[in-house]
Homo-oligomer: A and B are copies of this chain.
């Protein structure tokens, strides 16, 4: 349940209300979003707040939401959330934003060559690459970390690109937020509720990847976690779920992506590279994603995929990337979207 708090509410009234609510063991959170105030309770709460004797002093109206995700739904906000990264990059309108780059920052040459390729040939505006890499093996390359951040900063300045990069854990959040225009929360971090809460207090858009075994309910609850802490700019990213099929890395759940467009007002982007896990098929999957009328695509490309230090099976060569771009562009046009 979401209760809209009056804009001119008096703090004292709210404090009194809180005393009352806590005496009833109400589970709730006061949320500030775009300068408006809300009180949100769990959807299954049995306490009828409208019975509070000074209810009218504090609240305007209430939105009854029966699901366990609330702020991220169209019941809370009918129209699309539009997130503007720059004048010509926006999520939630009719752009499909191409975000491309290597899996990990490996060297100056690698990122600069890739950025140059993307900008010169396709005028791509958002560069993706990880400086902190969450790797399942303790013996593997864990990312260039701070040096990686510095190189992303260089890409940003030299090519005037926007940067999306992943935060692996809370300890790096500040360092990442310094350089990133969009902060990415990876699939393995989707349940990190404290980090989600921190991201809610940051003034940067957050691209939240669905946990590869998270239900849509849990995915939207994670989005709620960020929003409930004050940040309305959440981009949902479907990146493949784990299924019983061993021949593909994951299965890109386009049925869920299609459903998200109906139930959530947040922008939605897809990540064909991680879903597919095999470069040969990434372009076809990207085509399908583009036809879903989504707000963006994340694609891994590398100057020399065979020598990539992570995810080398799925990175497109520059040739593969170029072929994909022309097809994806045509598809975007055919559904009246602009590929930027």
Cα(A142)–Cα(B40), bound, Å: 15
Is A291 within 8 A of B137, CB to CB?
no
Residues of chain B with a CB closer than 8 A to A136's CB: 68, 191, 193, 218, 221-222
Is A192 within 8 A of B169, CB to CB?
yes
Cα(A332)–Cα(B64), bound, Å: 42
Is B253 within 8 A of A251, CB to CB?
yes
Q: Which 4 A-B pairs have the closest CB atoms?
A: A213-B213, A291-B291, A188-B191, A334-B334
Residues of chain B with a CB closer than 8 A to A170's CB: 169-171
Of chain B, the residue at the smallest CB distance from A290 is B291
* Chain B: minimal CB distance from A121 (Å): 20
Is A29 within 8 A of B288, CB to CB?
no
A284 adjacent to chain B (CB < 8 Å) = yes
A102 adjacent to chain B (CB < 8 Å) = no
Cα(A228)–Cα(B289), bound, Å: 36
18 further A-B contacts with Cβ under 8 Å, apart from A138-B224, A189-B192, A288-B292, are: A136-B218, A168-B193, A170-B170, A171-B194, A188-B191, A213-B213, A213-B242, A216-B245, A245-B256, A255-B276, A258-B284, A258-B285, A259-B278, A261-B284, A262-B281, A285-B292, A287-B292, A333-B334
Is B252 within 8 A of A254, CB to CB?
yes
Residues of chain B with a CB closer than 8 A to A288's CB: 254, 258, 288-289, 291-292
* Chain B: minimal CB distance from A249 (Å): 8
A213-265 residues at the B interface, CB under 8 angstroms: 213-218, 221-222, 224-225, 228-229, 240-256, 258-259, 261-262
Cα(A229)–Cα(B142), bound, Å: 14
Of chain B, the residue at the smallest CB distance from A272 is B255
Q: A193-B168, A293-B287, A334-B330 are in contact. Are A243 and B254 (CB under 8 A)?
A: no
Instruction: Select A281's contact among B216, B225, B255, beta carbons within 8 Å.
Output: B255
Instruction: Select A169's contact among B41, B188, B195, B331, beta carbons within 8 Å.
Output: B195
Of chain B, the residue at the smallest CB distance from A141 is B27
Q: A288-B292, A292-B284 are in contact. Are A259 and B248 (CB under 8 A)?
A: yes
A183 adjacent to chain B (CB < 8 Å) = no
* Chain B: minimal CB distance from A218 (Å): 6
Cα(A242)–Cα(B256), bound, Å: 13
| Most B C-beta atoms less than 10 A away, residue of A141, A191, A211, A249 | A191
Cα(A101)–Cα(B289), bound, Å: 26
Is B246 within 8 A of A256, CB to CB?
no
Cα(A137)–Cα(B222), bound, Å: 8
| Most B C-beta atoms less than 10 A away, residue of A29, A215, A216, A287 | A287
Is B215 within 8 A of A244, CB to CB?
yes
| Most B C-beta atoms less than 10 A away, residue of A225, A228, A248, A250 | A248
Q: A211-B213, A243-B251, A259-B248 are in contact. Are A138 and B229 (CB under 8 A)?
A: yes
| Most B C-beta atoms less than 10 A away, residue of A168, A280, A288 | A288
Is A293 within 8 A of B289, CB to CB?
no
A150 adjacent to chain B (CB < 8 Å) = no
A316 adjacent to chain B (CB < 8 Å) = no
Q: A254-B285, A284-B258, A291-B288 are in contact. Are A213 and B212 (CB under 8 A)?
A: yes
